[in-house]
Amino acid sequence: MTPPRITDSHCHLDFPDFDGELEAVIARAAEAGVHRMVTIATRRATFDKARAIAEAHDPVFWAAGIHPMHAAEEAPATLEELRALAAHPKCVGIGETGLDYHYTADSAEAQKVSLRLHIAAARETGLPLIIHSRDADEDMAQILTEEHRAGAFSCVLHCFTSGRALAETAVELGFYLSMSGITAFPRSHELRAIFADIPRERILVETDSPYLAPPPHRGKRNEPAFTAHTARAAAEAFGMDYADFAARTEENFERLFTKAAAWEARG
């Protein structure tokens, strides 16, 4: 029986963890029903590699930005640079960008500057902003709210593990939240409770591979095929049929990542 189609909205196929294995990884994803994935480049040194992977593999799209943990060590991105990246036919998002105060709180100001610049690029290009937020809920909510008031843009808070207040702010702004393998961990009761209260039309699924593999693969290298495990666990938690939940997340992905949807619609 053919499994329901689903999209891994955030992975890192350009990481060395997948070197020499991409064909097999993408084939396993297809077998699991993961027919499409977005690989995210997080620093300049990997922009070309992510773009080349998307060009070589039809199911793969890409996005690019400067990860907040690299914001202090890399020269700030420019609007011109991000605009040029976004012009690529399979570049479907801006980022990931954001704030990470867990390991890199000392670069908070550089991260904020970088985040606002990426927001400007998302606003200008019309591509969705891909946000990483860790231990920075208050600043993230403030910046996203301020910037959205200054000019609308679309956004997903990827691998969402923050608190309820930030989730509610994101929903109020019309943004999306993405479920990673963490939501399937047995002890993630509070996180699942937050997602249970989010409108189903605002939820995406992802792996963030090679990190955060869901059960039954926890502790191993994650890969796009495992999106199905996270989605099945989510459907069960929400009391939904898996096929219905998969179809809903597909609709959500295509509503947000319109460029990927348009590419596939070409036939």
Average pLDDT value for residue range 3-20: 97
Cα-trace Rg, the chain = 17
9 has pLDDT over 90: yes
Positive or negative torsion for Cα 122, 250, 225, 191 = positive
Rounded CA gap, 210 and 212, in Å? Answer: 7
Average pLDDT value for residue range 142-157: 98
Q: What is the pLDDT, as a whole number, of residue 129?
A: 98
Rounded CA gap, 188 and 245, in Å? Answer: 19
Span 198-246, pLDDT tens digits: 999 999 999 999 999 999 999 999 999 999 999 999 999 999 999 999 9
The edge-to-edge listing of strands for the beta sheet with 6-11 is 6-11, 34-41, 60-64, 91-100, 129-134, 155-157, 176-179, 203-205
Span 158-175, pLDDT tens digits: 999 999 999 999 999 999
Q: What is the pLDDT, as a whole number, of residue 267?
A: 61
Write out the CATH class of domain 6-265: alpha beta
Structure tokens at 129: 């902003």
**Where are the domains positioned within the chain?**
6-265
Span 19-70, pLDDT tens digits: 999 999 999 999 999 999 999 999 999 999 999 999 999 999 999 999 999 9
Confidence category of residue 88, pLDDT binned at 50, 70, 90: very high
Mean residue pLDDT across the chain: 96
